[in-house]
Amino acid sequence: MADEADPMHAPDFLSETEPFRLVEAWCQEADLKEPRDANAIQVATVDASGMPNIRSVLVKDRGPDGFTFYTNFESAKGRELLAARKAALLYYWKSLSRQIRVRGAVDIVSDATADAYFATRPRDSQLGAWASHQSHQMAERGEFARRMKEMRERFANSAVPRPPHWSGFRLIPSYIEFWQERPFRHHDRLAFEKDGNSWRRSLLYP
């Protein structure tokens, strides 16, 4: 029997046949062990010229139907996602020495879904969604502070509604790859690629 300390010993996850079961198991473990923002991902997009962009966001929902995050449609990522309708995301948990890579098509969540999530946000976050021209230039920091003041006055006596330019995107996976760090860069990689209504799995060299 292979020694657990042996860097070539294959961990149990390499035998997994259902990718979302493994996504959930790894995310739940990260929730317990990652010190901060276990639901943080990096989202990669491309602009009209094909130049890539990447930034960190928080996943607010995950499952077989995809990975959901929220943003301003007028931001750089919002414009790029709306134009290309494709993206990639990466979970990386340094404390667990693990990552999950996902690629796929992008869809917009329903208004009802976006409204329900927006209602759970802290009030200042809601006001910030109205005040910020996300990704656009501003003359100086005080400009944003003044817009926040305007929004506080505007909604002083009411709930803050979701702005029409703010909603959620769902990345629908066509490719999911699991990576586990191993000694000497003998890393373990398990990939799933969508094939019709099923997943084709493969092991990858480090």
Catalytic residues: 185
Rounded distance between C-alpha atoms, residue 113 and residue 67, angstroms: 13
Q: pLDDT, tens digit, for every residue of 155-192? A: 999 999 999 999 999 999 999 999 999 999 999 999 99
Q: Answer for the pair 121, 166: CB distance below 8 angstroms, yes or no.
A: no
Q: What is the mean pLDDT of residues 144-156?
A: 97
Rounded distance between C-alpha atoms, residue 70 and residue 133, angstroms: 15
Phi, psi of 76 (to 5 degrees): -60, -45
Of the listed ranges 32-36, 68-72, 111-115, 162-166, the least confidently predicted one is 32-36
| pLDDT at position 9 over 70 | no
pLDDT band at 134 (very low <50, low <70, confident <90, very high): very high
Give the chain's end-to-end CA distance (angstroms, integer).
23
Residue 177 pLDDT:
98
Residue 12 pLDDT:
84
Residue 5 pLDDT:
43
Question: What dotted CATH number matches 15-204?
Answer: 2.30.110.10
Residue 10 pLDDT:
47
Q: What are the boundaries of each domain within the chain?
A: 15-204
| pLDDT at position 131 over 50 | yes
